[in-house]
Structure 1
Amino acid sequence: MGKLVVTAFITLDGVYQAPGGPREDRGGGFEQGGWSVPYGDGDFGTFVAEVFDRSGAFLLGRRTYDIFAAHWPRVTDPADPVASRLNPLPKYVVSQTLGTPSWAGTTVLGGDLAEEVTAVRERTQGELQVHGSGALVRSLLALDLVDTLHLVTFPVVLGAGRRFFAEGAVPTAFRHTAARTTGTGVAIHTYELEGRPRYGSYELPQDA
């Protein structure tokens, strides 16, 4: 059985929308797309290649799937670390409206999310990877289906856009397992899901 691994690009103020280009996602009038591109140095490329090298299948939300499907099938270089994994490996897209997908190897999941994702994870060799797909990730976290989270934080504040951890997210605790920083200041932190948060108080006991 594979692990379900999420890789998320976010800004310092938690925005995950349209990291890869100005036309990627203009939903809500967002006009600051492409904010991750200036930080794409060799260290960052190494991390991305390492992540995709561990992939066994991909699980995507509809918006991210459409963005990927419009670009990656046209990248045919067998040495490309992303296209060489995305194009031939199984892809699962969570959608109630997608009909017959044109990207080869795609299966639409439109039923019970917990049941379908659990079944996919059980038959995946390697990592079942989620990239982007913020709304889907929040649903997966609420169902305790995420094993590992790579939170890739870029040193920029945008002040607008969709937030990765939005208001109303299910309280979740993680265990920090790894960290590295690229030459351009991108902080890459890896977390394992632990469950629900624990709480305490710094206040002195009443009888102290």
Structure 2
Amino acid sequence: MTELTVTTFVSLDGVMQAPGGPDEDPSNGFSCGGWLVPFADADMGNFINRVFERVDAFLLGRRTYEIFAAHWPRVTDENDPVAGRLNSLPKYVVSTTLEKAEWNNSTIISSDVVEEVRRLKARPGRELQIHGSGALARSLMAHGLIDTYHLLVFPVYLGQGARFFPDGGAPTAFRPTETSTTSTGVVIHTFQPTGPAQYGSFALDPAE
């Protein structure tokens, strides 16, 4: 069985939109693109490299795929721990609008996404990784298909933009398996879902 993992960057208010640059995703008037860049450091890079060491294939939404496909083929060092794997390993892009995916070793999934992902997970291997791809991740969350979440929480409040966890999603409990902090204050959490959220109360028993 292959583990499905998601790695994403979020602000303190849960925004994941356009972390890497102002032109990455300005949809819905988002004006804070590039909010990750001031916090990038060697600690963050080392964590991402460790994540990429475990990957056998990538599962990407259309927008993230197009951003990656415009950038990473230009990084031609085969020994680069990120570019080397992105450029060579299988990439499955979920899209109903793309007619072709020309980046090396790319396959379009245009229908029966949940069943296709289940089929990919049933293969022997290490990790099938989602990076970014918020809409795709949210749809797979709803079906309980994501096994591990790597959330890199950046010390910045944005007040606008698409959030990673949607309103109206199924309340879910998580078990933390790893936490670290980078030199710039990015807190890296690794979580695994454990089932429905549980509830309680601190209210005192009524006086007799």
Tell me the TM-score normalised to structure 2 length: 0.96
Matched, 1:29 2:32: no
Secondary structure in 2 matching 1:116: helix
Letter in 1 for 2:80: D
Q: Supply the AA of the counterpart residue of 2:169.
A: A
SS of equivalent residue, structure 1 residue 48: helix
Alignment of 1:1-208 (within 5 A): 1-123=1-123, 125-206=125-206
Aligned residues: 208
Unmatched 5+ stretches in structure 2: none
Q: In structure 1, what residue type is equivalent to 2:131?
A: H
Cα deviation per residue 1:172-199 (whole Å; 9 max; x = unaligned)? 2111111000001000000011121111
Counterparts of 1:150 and 1:44, CA distance in 2: 12
SS of the residue 2:202 aligns to: coil
RMSD: 1.2
Whole-angstrom distance in 1 between the partners of 2:81 and 2:31: 29
Q: TM-score, normalised by structure 1?
A: 0.96
Unaligned runs of 5+ in 1: none
Match for 1:58: what amino acid?
F
- Deviation per residue, 1:104-146 (Å, 9 max, x gap): 1111112222210011122252210000011111111110001
Q: 1:78: how far off?
A: 1.7
SS of match in other structure, 1:87: helix
Aligned residue identity for 2:2: G
What is the deviation of 1:102? Answer: 1.0
In the alignment, residue 138 of structure 1 is paired with which amino acid?
A: R
